[in-house]
Amino acid sequence: MEISITRASLEEKPVVARLLQLCLHDYSAHDRFGIGDDGLFGYRWSDLYWSNPHRHPYLFRVEGRLAGFAFVRQREEDEPGDWRWQIAEFFILRGLRRKRIGMVAASALLRSRCGVWEFAYDLSNEPARLFWRQVARSFNGGHTPIAVGTVRECYHVTIEPEEANKAPEPTTMAVTPRATSRISK
Ligand SMILES: CC(C)(COP(=O)(O)OP(=O)(O)OC[C@H]1O[C@@H](n2cnc3c(N)ncnc32)[C@H](O)[C@@H]1OP(=O)(O)O)[C@@H](O)C(=O)NCCC(=O)NCCS
Protein backbone atom coordinates (compact mmCIF):
# COMPACT_ATOMS: atom_id res chain seq x y z
CA MET A 1 0.00 0.00 0.00
CA GLU A 2 1.55 3.27 -1.09
CA ILE A 3 0.50 6.42 0.70
CA SER A 4 1.33 9.69 -0.98
CA ILE A 5 1.27 13.04 0.75
CA THR A 6 1.24 15.98 -1.60
CA ARG A 7 0.98 19.66 -1.04
CA ALA A 8 -2.50 20.65 -2.24
CA SER A 9 -2.34 22.96 -5.24
CA LEU A 10 -4.62 25.93 -5.78
CA GLU A 11 -6.60 23.81 -8.26
CA GLU A 12 -7.13 21.26 -5.48
CA LYS A 13 -8.53 23.85 -3.05
CA PRO A 14 -12.15 22.74 -3.72
CA VAL A 15 -11.14 19.12 -3.08
CA VAL A 16 -9.66 20.05 0.29
CA ALA A 17 -12.76 22.15 1.06
CA ARG A 18 -14.98 19.09 0.54
CA LEU A 19 -12.78 16.87 2.70
CA LEU A 20 -12.73 19.63 5.33
CA GLN A 21 -16.54 19.48 5.46
CA LEU A 22 -16.37 15.73 6.15
CA CYS A 23 -13.76 16.36 8.81
CA LEU A 24 -15.79 19.11 10.48
CA HIS A 25 -18.81 16.83 10.43
CA ASP A 26 -16.78 14.27 12.37
CA TYR A 27 -15.63 16.97 14.78
CA SER A 28 -19.23 18.05 15.27
CA ALA A 29 -19.91 14.70 16.94
CA HIS A 30 -17.60 15.96 19.67
CA ASP A 31 -19.26 19.39 19.93
CA ARG A 32 -16.46 21.43 18.40
CA PHE A 33 -18.12 22.87 15.32
CA GLY A 34 -21.75 23.49 14.46
CA ILE A 35 -23.36 23.55 11.04
CA GLY A 36 -24.46 26.89 9.57
CA ASP A 37 -27.83 27.75 8.07
CA ASP A 38 -26.22 27.30 4.64
CA GLY A 39 -25.66 23.61 5.39
CA LEU A 40 -21.92 24.03 5.66
CA PHE A 41 -19.59 23.81 8.61
CA GLY A 42 -17.79 27.12 8.98
CA TYR A 43 -14.01 27.26 9.09
CA ARG A 44 -12.58 30.76 8.96
CA TRP A 45 -8.91 29.87 8.35
CA SER A 46 -9.46 27.91 5.14
CA ASP A 47 -8.37 30.58 2.63
CA LEU A 48 -5.18 31.26 4.59
CA TYR A 49 -3.81 27.88 3.52
CA TRP A 50 -3.49 29.25 0.01
CA SER A 51 -2.41 32.80 0.86
CA ASN A 52 -0.25 32.72 4.01
CA PRO A 53 3.26 31.29 3.53
CA HIS A 54 3.16 29.92 7.09
CA ARG A 55 0.25 27.62 6.24
CA HIS A 56 0.54 24.38 4.29
CA PRO A 57 -2.32 22.21 2.98
CA TYR A 58 -1.70 18.53 2.21
CA LEU A 59 -3.71 15.80 0.53
CA PHE A 60 -3.25 12.12 1.30
CA ARG A 61 -3.81 9.44 -1.32
CA VAL A 62 -3.66 5.67 -1.03
CA GLU A 63 -2.79 3.91 -4.28
CA GLY A 64 -3.59 7.18 -6.03
CA ARG A 65 -7.07 7.68 -4.53
CA LEU A 66 -8.00 10.38 -2.04
CA ALA A 67 -7.67 9.26 1.57
CA GLY A 68 -7.59 12.45 3.65
CA PHE A 69 -5.91 15.78 4.24
CA ALA A 70 -3.96 17.80 6.76
CA PHE A 71 -3.42 21.46 7.51
CA VAL A 72 0.05 22.26 8.83
CA ARG A 73 1.08 25.65 10.03
CA GLN A 74 4.14 27.44 11.30
CA ARG A 75 3.82 29.60 14.42
CA GLU A 76 3.61 33.28 13.57
CA GLU A 77 6.39 35.42 15.07
CA ASP A 78 3.98 37.38 17.27
CA GLU A 79 2.07 34.29 18.34
CA PRO A 80 2.65 32.83 21.82
CA GLY A 81 3.81 29.22 22.15
CA ASP A 82 6.98 27.17 22.26
CA TRP A 83 6.28 25.10 19.16
CA ARG A 84 7.38 25.79 15.62
CA TRP A 85 5.04 23.58 13.60
CA GLN A 86 1.49 22.53 14.27
CA ILE A 87 -0.82 19.97 12.73
CA ALA A 88 -3.92 22.15 12.77
CA GLU A 89 -6.32 19.68 11.15
CA PHE A 90 -5.92 16.04 10.22
CA PHE A 91 -8.45 13.72 8.61
CA ILE A 92 -8.64 10.21 7.19
CA LEU A 93 -11.75 9.04 5.30
CA ARG A 94 -13.90 6.74 7.41
CA GLY A 95 -13.63 3.71 5.16
CA LEU A 96 -9.85 3.85 5.41
CA ARG A 97 -9.49 4.17 9.17
CA ARG A 98 -7.63 1.78 11.50
CA LYS A 99 -5.26 0.74 8.72
CA ARG A 100 -2.37 2.83 10.04
CA ILE A 101 -2.74 5.31 7.18
CA GLY A 102 -3.10 8.19 9.63
CA MET A 103 -0.09 7.03 11.58
CA VAL A 104 2.08 6.83 8.48
CA ALA A 105 0.88 10.18 7.13
CA ALA A 106 1.34 11.97 10.47
CA SER A 107 4.82 10.49 10.93
CA ALA A 108 5.84 11.53 7.45
CA LEU A 109 4.55 15.06 7.99
CA LEU A 110 6.46 15.39 11.25
CA ARG A 111 9.64 14.10 9.67
CA SER A 112 9.32 16.64 6.87
CA ARG A 113 10.48 19.52 9.10
CA CYS A 114 12.71 19.67 12.16
CA GLY A 115 11.81 21.56 15.31
CA VAL A 116 9.06 21.30 17.91
CA TRP A 117 5.74 20.05 16.56
CA GLU A 118 2.41 20.47 18.31
CA PHE A 119 -0.72 18.43 17.74
CA ALA A 120 -3.83 19.08 19.79
CA TYR A 121 -7.23 17.44 20.16
CA ASP A 122 -10.47 17.87 22.04
CA LEU A 123 -10.61 15.58 25.08
CA SER A 124 -14.09 14.54 23.97
CA ASN A 125 -12.63 13.17 20.70
CA GLU A 126 -11.49 9.81 22.04
CA PRO A 127 -10.26 8.38 18.71
CA ALA A 128 -8.12 11.49 18.20
CA ARG A 129 -6.74 11.26 21.75
CA LEU A 130 -5.72 7.63 21.28
CA PHE A 131 -4.40 8.29 17.79
CA TRP A 132 -2.15 11.22 18.79
CA ARG A 133 -0.93 9.28 21.82
CA GLN A 134 0.26 6.56 19.43
CA VAL A 135 1.89 9.12 17.14
CA ALA A 136 3.68 10.77 20.08
CA ARG A 137 4.84 7.38 21.38
CA SER A 138 6.31 6.51 18.02
CA PHE A 139 8.67 9.47 18.40
CA ASN A 140 11.11 8.78 21.25
CA GLY A 141 8.30 7.54 23.52
CA GLY A 142 7.66 8.90 26.99
CA HIS A 143 5.65 11.91 25.88
CA THR A 144 2.94 13.13 28.21
CA PRO A 145 0.05 15.25 26.99
CA ILE A 146 -0.09 18.95 27.93
CA ALA A 147 -3.41 20.42 29.09
CA VAL A 148 -4.78 23.21 26.89
CA GLY A 149 -7.48 24.81 29.00
CA THR A 150 -9.98 22.32 30.33
CA VAL A 151 -11.30 20.67 27.18
CA ARG A 152 -8.19 20.16 25.04
CA GLU A 153 -4.77 18.55 25.24
CA CYS A 154 -1.73 18.58 23.00
CA TYR A 155 1.59 16.85 22.53
CA HIS A 156 4.91 18.46 21.72
CA VAL A 157 7.34 16.30 19.79
CA THR A 158 10.80 17.47 18.77
CA ILE A 159 12.16 16.36 15.41
CA GLU A 160 15.93 16.61 15.38
CA PRO A 161 17.65 17.61 12.14
CA GLU A 162 19.02 14.08 11.69
CA GLU A 163 15.48 12.65 11.98
CA ALA A 164 14.02 15.02 9.42
CA ASN A 165 13.95 14.42 5.74
CA LYS A 166 16.19 16.78 3.88
CA ALA A 167 13.44 18.52 1.92
CA PRO A 168 12.09 21.53 3.82
CA GLU A 169 9.15 21.98 1.46
CA PRO A 170 8.13 18.54 0.24
CA THR A 171 5.85 18.32 -2.73
CA THR A 172 5.37 14.58 -2.56
CA MET A 173 6.17 12.03 0.09
CA ALA A 174 5.64 8.45 -0.96
CA VAL A 175 5.54 6.26 2.11
CA THR A 176 4.86 2.63 2.82
CA PRO A 177 3.18 1.58 6.10
CA ARG A 178 5.64 0.44 8.77
CA ALA A 179 8.57 1.54 6.62
CA THR A 180 10.73 4.61 6.99
CA SER A 181 9.21 7.50 5.11
CA ARG A 182 11.04 9.02 2.18
CA ILE A 183 10.46 12.20 0.27
CA SER A 184 10.60 12.54 -3.46
CA LYS A 185 10.34 15.84 -5.27
C1 LIG B 1 -8.12 10.21 14.30
C2 LIG B 1 -7.89 9.68 12.87
C3 LIG B 1 -7.05 10.69 12.10
C4 LIG B 1 -7.12 8.35 12.97
O5 LIG B 1 -6.76 7.94 11.65
P6 LIG B 1 -6.50 6.38 11.31
O7 LIG B 1 -5.83 6.31 9.99
O8 LIG B 1 -7.74 5.60 11.49
O9 LIG B 1 -5.49 5.97 12.49
P10 LIG B 1 -4.47 4.75 12.47
O11 LIG B 1 -5.05 3.55 11.81
O12 LIG B 1 -3.15 5.22 11.96
O13 LIG B 1 -4.37 4.46 14.04
C14 LIG B 1 -3.12 4.37 14.75
C15 LIG B 1 -3.42 4.02 16.18
O16 LIG B 1 -4.18 5.08 16.81
C17 LIG B 1 -5.16 4.52 17.71
N18 LIG B 1 -6.51 4.77 17.18
C19 LIG B 1 -6.82 5.38 16.01
N20 LIG B 1 -8.17 5.45 15.87
C21 LIG B 1 -8.69 4.87 16.96
C22 LIG B 1 -10.03 4.62 17.39
N23 LIG B 1 -11.10 5.01 16.66
N24 LIG B 1 -10.22 3.99 18.56
C25 LIG B 1 -9.18 3.60 19.33
N26 LIG B 1 -7.87 3.79 18.97
C27 LIG B 1 -7.64 4.42 17.80
C28 LIG B 1 -4.90 3.02 17.72
O29 LIG B 1 -3.93 2.77 18.76
C30 LIG B 1 -4.30 2.79 16.35
O31 LIG B 1 -3.49 1.64 16.27
P32 LIG B 1 -4.21 0.17 16.10
O33 LIG B 1 -5.25 0.29 15.02
O34 LIG B 1 -3.05 -0.73 15.71
O35 LIG B 1 -4.80 -0.16 17.43
C36 LIG B 1 -9.25 9.41 12.14
O37 LIG B 1 -10.07 8.64 13.00
C38 LIG B 1 -9.98 10.66 11.73
O39 LIG B 1 -9.73 11.22 10.66
N40 LIG B 1 -10.93 11.13 12.58
C41 LIG B 1 -11.77 12.28 12.25
C42 LIG B 1 -10.99 13.58 12.26
C43 LIG B 1 -10.26 13.77 13.55
O44 LIG B 1 -10.81 13.65 14.64
N45 LIG B 1 -8.96 14.12 13.42
C46 LIG B 1 -8.11 14.40 14.55
C47 LIG B 1 -8.18 15.84 14.81
S48 LIG B 1 -7.39 16.30 16.34
Query: Rounded distance, CA 156 to CA 148, Å?
Result: 12
pLDDT in tens, 89-147: 999 999 999 999 999 999 999 999 999 999 999 999 999 999 999 999 999 777 899 99
What are the C-alpha distances in Å from 8 to residues 100, 112, 123, 134, 170?
22, 15, 29, 26, 11
**CA distance readout (Å), 80 to 46, 77, 110, 133, 140:** 21, 8, 21, 24, 25
The CA-atom distances, in angstroms, between 14 and each of 8, 23, 172 are: 10, 14, 19
Whose alpha carbon is nearest atom 48 of ligand 1? Answer: 121
The CA-based angle 99-18-22, given to 5 degrees, is 50
Q: Ligand 1: distance of its center to the CA of 102 in Å? A: 7
**Cα 129 to ligand 1 centre (Å):** 8
- 57 close to 69: Cβ distance less than 8 angstroms: yes
Instruction: Let me know the angle formed at the C-alpha of 159 by 157 and 163, rounded to the nearest 5 degrees.
Output: 140
Helix then strand count (H, E) for the chain reads 3, 9
Tell me which residue has its CA closest to atom 25 in ligand 1.
127
Q: What domains, with CATH codes, occur in the chain? A: 3-175 (3.40.630.30)
Supply the pLDDT for residue 183: 35
Q: What is the pLDDT of residues 64-74, one digit of tens each?
A: 999 999 999 99
pLDDT at 32: 65
Coil vs helix vs strand at 9: coil
165 falls in which pLDDT band (50, 70, 90)?
A: confident
Q: Using CA atoms, how far apart are residues 86 and 116, in angstroms rounded to an integer?
A: 8
Q: Using CB atoms within 10 Å of the CB of residue 14, give its burial: 0 to 12 exposed, 13 to 18 middle, 19+ buried.
A: exposed
pTM > 0.95: yes or no: no
User: What's the average model confidence in pLDDT over 51-58?
Assistant: 97
Atom of ligand 1 nearest to the CA of 91: 39
Residues touching ligand 1 (Cβ under 6 Å) are 23, 26, 90-92, 97-103, 121, 125, 127-128, 130-131, 134
Q: What average pLDDT is seen over the chain?
A: 89
Closest ligand 1 atom to 87 CA: 48
Give residue 52 CA to ligand 1 midpoint distance, Å. 29
